[in-house]
Amino acid sequence: MRHRWIREVLFLGPLALILTGCGAAPQSATPAADTRAQDEAAIRSAAQDWGKAIVAKDLDQTLSYYAEDTWVNPQNAPIAKTPEERRAIWSAFFATPGLADMAGETARVEVARSGDLAAEYGTFAMTVKDKKGKLTTQTEKYIVTWKKQPDGKWKAAGDIWNADK
C-alpha cells in the first residue's frame, strides 16, 4: 500500500504541475491592437515613394527599400540573394536600352493580423524603344512581401515580377 501511495505522488505530483501550466491565458491579458489599416497605409506610401525612386533611376534609393536578407526574383534572371546581386539586377534594369517611361500601381495590400508581414500586389508598365526606334509598352505584374523592421519601418523582404501576358 505504501508503494502505491509513493507511486501516485511521484506520478501525479509532476503531472499536476505540468497541467497547471497549460491553462488559458489570464483574463487580464489584452490582445494586441489591430494596426492593419495603418500598416497598409504605410506600405502604400512606401511603395509610392519606392516607385518614384525607380522612375528616377535612383539606384541607391531604390535599393534602400529592401531588407538586409531580401531575395529578388527578377524575370528571366537568377534570384538575387545578396546586396551585390540586387544592385546588379537594378543596375542592369536602369541601363535597359531605350527605357523611356515607367509607371506602376498598387492593386492590393494585405497585412497579416500579427502586424509584422504584408503582401503587396500590383502592376507596372514600361515603355521602351525597340532597335528600330519604335515605342512599345510592356505590362508586368509583381508581388512584394513586406516585413516590419525593429524600428517600425516596412522593408521589402521578397520581390518578384514578370510579364503580364
27: pLDDT confidence band, cut at 50, 70 and 90? low
Interval 124-141: pLDDT, tens: 999 998 888 899 999 999
Average pLDDT of 37-42?
A: 97
Say how far apart CA 118 and CA 154 lie, in whole Å: 9
Say how far apart CA 8 and CA 72 lie, in whole Å: 59
Interval 45-68: pLDDT, tens: 999 999 999 999 999 999 999 999
DSSP state of 153: -
Grid coordinates belonging to 59: 539606384
pTM comes to 0.78
Cα–Cα nearest to 157, from 145, 149, 165, 148: 145
- For 36-163, which CATH class? alpha beta
User: What are the distances in angstroms from CA 142 to CA 58, 109, 130, 148, 164?
Assistant: 20, 12, 23, 19, 9
The proportion of the chain whose per-residue pLDDT surpasses 70, expressed as a percent, equals 81
Residue 147: pLDDT over 80 = yes
